[in-house]
Structure 1
């Protein structure tokens, strides 16, 4: 069983190549350069990864990824990490193209309750408004449209 990343020193081109390959995203090629920028939220360490692939890698792979690791000393953060992993796994298993951020790796280790998520970084095209400012009307409409996609898929679904 793969254990989650718990420390920035573990984030290497070799590790990222392995995770993308094991999850079926990198059939050939490898990561040749990796830049890491760190910030944190209320519950997680966030690593913004800028990736350069070898020339033989698939051109559709994103050049920017986010690695999200819940704080190991915060029980609420660990539970949120576990639950977020469960959601991504369930959605990607059931839906061909779920209307969520593309997830490239979702690892949860029950013994330590540690987890990590490797997601496509959409910060160039998406944003989160400062709290407590509500989203614009257009953003609310987009949220409702996305919820409608989930609702349509799961309506009378066998699961």
Structure 2
């Protein structure tokens, strides 16, 4: 943490003047001073708000505040670098997707630290407190934003090839397709660690999904359609408008886990993994309809609602592996233990076992 905090001192008036001049925000004058206020701290991430004053002769579109996000690089988990790659190379190719503007993205390889200089939307947007989800009107708008992002990237081969190259080798797509043995090892280690704390019926669901996986996931990726996915698009990775004003919409943040994927599978992650069953059952079907309608509105063709539902079930099945994934990465138990209950409840509610039987992937009992 001290290393990250000390790195924040590299945000000097001279440096910021250079960046904002390059980005055509400052046309005359310079940054006079910067006041830093820490807004988020973890052992691997430090985010500070930069409150900026300018020289009297400064001219241009002068932002009063910016966000300086500092991340520690973890080569094993491949974090601290991907979001930088997103803003450098992929964000400029996404013209319709609601995201925040990045003014500078840099990796200090020697120190193992990256930084992003981002626009500050705190005056116009708010961020919900985990685990309380935002009002349903904001959830609907977030689903629309997610669907429009997926639609913009739908089967765009040049973009998706670039995404695949930059996504790294620790992604859900690879674990579900080309690295399935590693996934199996993770799940079995998870079984051993939990012992009798994992109820037999829950364990049976995971074993069932694990057996079905080789016949389920890779064929779907190969068949298409595919798109770019955010990779961690829960409702707390959106910023929401404080007021209903024309042109102000939710924005996706934290692009650390982007990849090539199946759009409705990501929605299953958004809803099926993170919402408790009662809330999910009340809103889920209508949100899935909003998602599919938005895809069609943004030009996606030959993708029926029935296909969308099947991909959603595919995502609910993949969600079963997320608790083991989080556990193996050393995430806190309060995260993955709740995920375990939520994802198995969604698997039950959507009759995923019966769906696998209809698809001929598992045999009936």
**Structure 1: tracts of 5 or more residues without a match:** none
2:59 to 45, 48, 57: 57
Q: Does residue 1:130 correspond to 2:120, yes or no?
A: no
Q: TM-score, normalised by structure 1?
A: 0.78
Kept in 2: contact 1:91–1:98 (CA 8 A): no
Q: 1:154 to 1:97 in 2, by over 3 A?
A: closer
Rg larger for: 2
1:67-120: CA deviations, max 9, x gaps? 011246xx38x8432111111123333134641111111112344431000011
Structure 1 segments, 4+ long, off by >4 Å, are none
Q: TM-score, normalised by structure 2?
A: 0.37
Partner of 1:106: 105
Partner of 1:11: 11
Kept in 1: contact 2:84–2:106 (CA 8 A): yes
Q: Does residue 1:44 correspond to 2:55, yes or no?
A: no
Q: 1:133 to 1:114 in 2, by over 3 A?
A: same
Kept in 2: contact 1:6–1:69 (CA 8 A): no
**Structure 2: tracts of 5 or more residues without a match:** 160-365
Kept in 1: contact 2:33–2:54 (CA 8 A): yes
Q: Which structure carries more strand by proportion? A: 1
Cα-Cα RMSD: 2.6
Count of residues in Structure 1 that have an aligned counterpart in Structure 2: 151
- Matches of 2:6 and 2:93 in 1, distance apart? 29
Q: CA deviation at 1:24?
A: 4.3
- Matches of 2:140 and 2:19 in 1, distance apart? 35
Partner of 1:90: 89
Q: Which structure carries more helix by proportion? A: 2
Q: 1:81 to 1:26 in 2, by over 3 A?
A: farther
